[in-house]
Structure 1
Amino acid sequence: MNKVVLITGGSSGIGKSVGEFLSEKGFTVYGTSRNPQNIQDHPFKLVALDVTNIETITAAVTEIVSKEGRLDILINNAGMGITGPIEETPTDEMRSVFNTNLFGAIDVMKAVLPQMRSQKSGLIINVTSIAGYMGLPFRGIYSATKGALEIVTEAIRMEVKSFGVQVTNVAPGDFATNIASGRYHTPVFENSPYKKTYQENLDLMDAHVDSGSDPIEMANAIYKIIKTPKPKIHYKVGDFMQKFSIVLKKILPDKMYEKLLMNHYKL
């Protein structure tokens, strides 16, 4: 039986690459987009879903289950970026990103769990970020949303294990996607005390994404997780230094690690 997969944010970037890869492997894949009618010639099915709108989440899950009779895998991939000095970033914009990256992911999990519980099987893969393991300058809110989702995953994983449902995190590093175009950028204000360092770091972030890895690496990693009988709690996908930065944070004194980050970001 072909397993049925739901990928939030499946219209572009990592979500699209993963969906296309899994489709080629024989999975029945549904991606999501807020406006799927505007997307032509997509390599797999798209349903309308906005992770900040519970009605659309419920409708999408209901549609898939009514068509397929089951839902085996959720890949919680939808997300958005945010950059800016915390002092100058509007708090409403911070809340908006938390609503998408954290509460949106939680609401989708809530929507699929009753079906997975009735099947006595299911797999939820939450896409977080290596940035979620550390507070990064001018990306602190994004880091916080992804770090929070990592912790939520640890908790819900234990809560649902007895129902036959498995939950795991996969944290990507920098990948060559269009994430930068969808970020909320706090403007670089002319009279800002952060003007120079923030602009330099914006340029550095964009360079990292432009030179990032091919999203097919994430597709391969997620496929391996799906084929693993008992997935680990945390997976990291990225280049050596990005993954090693997490190791360094664990073993170095806090101030030494902070100094390494400040040197890297020229602060």
Structure 2
Amino acid sequence: MFIVKMGVLAVLIFPLLLFGISGIIYIYRAVGRLMSKSAVQNKVVVITDAISGLGKECSRVFHSGGARLVLCGKTWEKLEALYNALISVADPSVTFTPKLVLLDLSDINCIQDVAKEILDCYGCVDILINNASMKVKGPVQSISLELDKKIMDANYFGPITLTKALLPNMISRRTGQVVLVNNIQGKLGVPFRAAYAASKHAAQGFFDCLRAEVEEFDVCISTVSPTFIRSYHVQPEPGNWEASIWKFFFRKLAYGVHPMEVAEEVLRTVSRKKQEVFMANAIPKAALYIRTFFPELFFAIIASGVKEKQKLEFPPPERYP
């Protein structure tokens, strides 16, 4: 009888305990979001490629947090559309009207002038979010050197040129934060994306070095590296990926995160001044571990996949804006 009563008691307590834990987690996250938003209130935040999926989400979360936004993008019409979307849903008593600046990070020659325009908006920059990126896919031998250079300009030279132009303002004020939205390929090369991976490796290395150099000036350098940022409506394609270890492995690598998730993480990174964040499920994290400690195994898996791929006719290189 005693055992039966204890069993009934356990059945009754378990849902209450689960409900209580869920409530605590919800409250903790809600408080965290409020603290993150309060940390960026009145801060001058520059977002590059604000018209991309992630850029729009970052603009939304920082604008609602009361940041003074400077939104950069290549197309004025799209910047205006983003501007209208932000001010139409915001409370004007707690938000600032965003500033708009035309910027193409792949055009290195114009960045110095645009940096002056950015500084003229509010006289300073508190937070720079380097978000712009260009992708290319295809075998190394089919990608022209010209396209390699364009990828490097957009993903490496562009962000570091803008950062160098705005950095003296942060150093002189002894405050500021630079956030690089990078990618898993800044740490892990994936076949048929050599130019993209190389640019992301370069950016990772630059900002890792910069972090140590500017620490004495109280300037924080952060990197946020998701696996892949998927579009709003695209989900991983179904298929018989389990036919080989390589296909299963890279299907897991290709699972992207939603732009909204990344934007919320960027906000947390800024408010808590995190130095590095890696957004990935268990498979990509395991891949990094294998690459570091068991490189022969990792390279064998990669090579087997490339051989499979080369049996099929590879499509022409695809360029993405």
Mark yes or no: TM-score above 0.5: yes
Which moves more between the two structures, 255-264 or 74-83? Answer: 255-264
Amino acid at match of 1:220: E
* 3-state DSSP of counterpart to 1:222: helix
**How far apart, CA to CA, are the structure 1 residues paired with 2:110 and 2:51?**
16
Structure-1 separation of matches of 2:281 and 2:271: 23
Equivalent runs, 1:191-202 vs 2, <5 Å? none
Which residue pairs with 1:154 in the alignment?
208
State the one-letter code of the partner of 2:211: R
Q: CA 1:173–1:68 in structure 2 vs 1: closer, same or farther (change >3 Å)?
A: same
- Equivalent residue for 2:298? 257
Q: Tell me which residue corresponds to 2:119.
A: 65
Partner of 2:259: 215
Question: CA offsets per residue over residues 184-235 of structure 1, 9 Å max, x none?
Answer: xxxxxxxxxxxxxxxxx9xx88x987x6321111111111111114x22x32
Which whole-Å deviations, capped at 9, do the CAs of 1:18-67 have from their partners, x for residues lacking one? 12111111112222112224544213543111113345423333233223
Matched-pair contact (CA < 8 Å) for 1:10–1:46: no
Structure 1 residues without counterparts, runs of 5 or longer: 181-200
Aligned match of 1:2: 42
**Please, what TM-score do these two structures have when normalized by structure 2?**
0.68
- The corresponding residue for 2:176 is 122
Match of 1:33 among 45, 69, 73: 73
Q: Is the contact made by 2:226 and 2:257 (CA closer than 8 Å) also made in structure 1? A: no
**8 Å contact from structure 1 (residues 130, 243) kept in 2:** no
Determine which of 259, 269, 272 is the counterpart of 1:228. 272
Q: Shift of residue 90 of structure 1?
A: 0.6
TM-score, scaled relative to structure 1: 0.80
Percent identity between the two aligned chains: 27
User: Number of aligned pairs?
Assistant: 239
Find the counterpart in structure 1 of residue 89 from structure 2: none
CA shift digits 1:67-118 (9 cap, x unpaired): 3222100111111001111112111110110111111111011111111112
CA distance in 1, matches of 2:269, 2:253: 26
What letter matches 1:18 in structure 2?
C
Q: Secondary structure at the match of 2:283?
A: helix
Q: Which has the larger radius of gyration?
A: 2
The answer to whether residue 177 in structure 2 is matched with residue 137 in structure 1 is: no
Map residues 104-115 of structure 1 onto 2, 5 A cutoff. 104-115=158-169
Corresponding position of 2:52:
12
CA distance in 2, matches of 1:90, 1:61: 30
Partner-residue secondary structure (3-state), 2:81: coil
Amino acid paired to 2:54? I
Evaluate the alpha carbon distance shift between residue 223 and residue 146 of structure 1 in structure 2; reply closer, same or farther with a 3 A threshold: same
- Structure with bigger helix share is 2
1:63 partner SS = helix
> Which structure 1 residue ranges, 4+ long, deviate > 4 Å from structure 2?
262-267
Cα separation, 2, equivalents of 1:124 and 1:72: 8
